[in-house]
Amino acid sequence: MNKKRRLEKILDMLKIDGTITIKEIIDELDISDMTARRDLDALEADGLLTRTHGGAQLLSSKKPLEKTHIEKKSLNTKEKIDIAKKACSLIKDGDTIFIGPGTTLEQLALELKGRKGYKIRVITNSLPVFLILNDSETIDLLLLGGEYREITGAFVGSMASTNLKAMRFAKAFVSANAVTHNSIATYSDKEGVIQQLALNNAVEKFLLVDSTKFDRYDFFNFYNLDQLDTIITDNQISPQHLEEFSQYTTILKAD
């Protein structure tokens, strides 16, 4: 791929989310770290983006646009599977757990569906998670109702919140679009509130995010890292991010 086409592709990727990481460019364009950085430098010199730590953002982007479910599903698939396997290994027979919306958590549902010999209860506000687990003979399943967000397949709003307030979980598993400093963020405040409630009502609190989500931002900060028990991420997390974010909570790297 020539330089002109690479730069066009990078700008197309930026328009989806408003931000981009070096790793995302390397994975998508199959180029070296040095080439990715030179391309970002060239685009910054043309006034089309501004460089950030580990990536860049559009100058015209006041806040990132929310990716569709299909767009998210195609990103970092192997890493999401690895994270889901690690999370699944922590769920015990008899647990009552909450699973939030997100493509990484859908992978967790797939892992749970294929696991034999365990009887658990799952509460979710994610329609995709519900559909994955709906025909399982070993999982007691409850789908929270409420206002439906088609872009993520999540149920949110006052009805979902009211139901959640009366529930308690052994473990809650949520995901996020961004992790920065001591904060966990997502695009939708309504989804963030539901995840906040679920975490508050759980004995053990888990955040499942791939390594591209670190040192990024999004609209609504719904929880602090130091309130969590564990972050589960992939083994591509940088040593710098591992050191920085381990000061707030335990980080488990997937195999």
Give 177-221 pLDDT, tens digit per residue.
999 889 999 989 999 999 999 999 999 999 999 998 998 878 889
Average of per-residue pLDDT across 51-72: 66
Looking at per-residue confidence, does 41 or 73 come out higher? Answer: 41
Domain boundaries, the chain: 3-58, 70-253
> Regarding predicted confidence, which is higher, 28 or 168?
168
Cβ neighbors of 46 (< 8 A, separation 6 or more) are none
Name the fold adopted by 3-58: Arc Repressor Mutant, subunit A (1.10.10)
Mean pLDDT of the chain: 90
pLDDT over threshold 50, residue 62 = no
Please tell me the predicted confidence (pLDDT) of residue 63: 47
Q: pTM of the prediction? A: 0.74
The mean pLDDT of 2-20, rounded to a whole number, is: 83
Task: Say whether pLDDT at 92 is over 90.
Answer: yes
Residue with the larger pLDDT of the pair 59 and 249: 249
Q: Give the residue ranges of DSSP H helices in the chain.
A: 3-17, 22-29, 33-45, 69-73, 77-88, 103-113, 127-133, 158-165, 189-200, 239-245
Residue 83 and residue 212: Cα distance in Å, rounded? Answer: 13
Band the pLDDT of 72: cuts 50, 70, 90.
Answer: low
pLDDT at 126 over 50: yes
Q: Which of 8-22, 36-50, 60-74 has the lowest mean pLDDT?
A: 60-74
Q: How far apart are CA 29 and CA 168, in angstroms?
A: 45
| DSSP conformation letters of 98-113 | EE-SSHHHHHHHHHHH
pLDDT exceeds 80 at position 60: no
- pLDDT number for residue 76: 65
CATH 3.40.50.1360 for domain 70-253: yes
Query: If pLDDT is split at 50, 70 and 90, which confidence band does 2 have?
Result: confident
Name the token pair of 234.
């992939």
Report phi then psi at 90, rounded to 5.
-95, -5
DSSP secondary structure letter of residue 125: S
**Which residues are paired to 123 by β-bridges?**
98, 142
50 vs 139: which has the higher pLDDT: 139
pLDDT at 15: 74
pLDDT reported for residue 59: 67
Please give the backbone phi and psi of residue 69, each rounded to the nearest 5 degrees, phi first: -60, -40
Band (74; pLDDT cuts 50, 70, 90): low
What number of residues does the chain have? Answer: 255
Is 135 in contact with 145 (CB distance < 8 Å)?
Answer: no
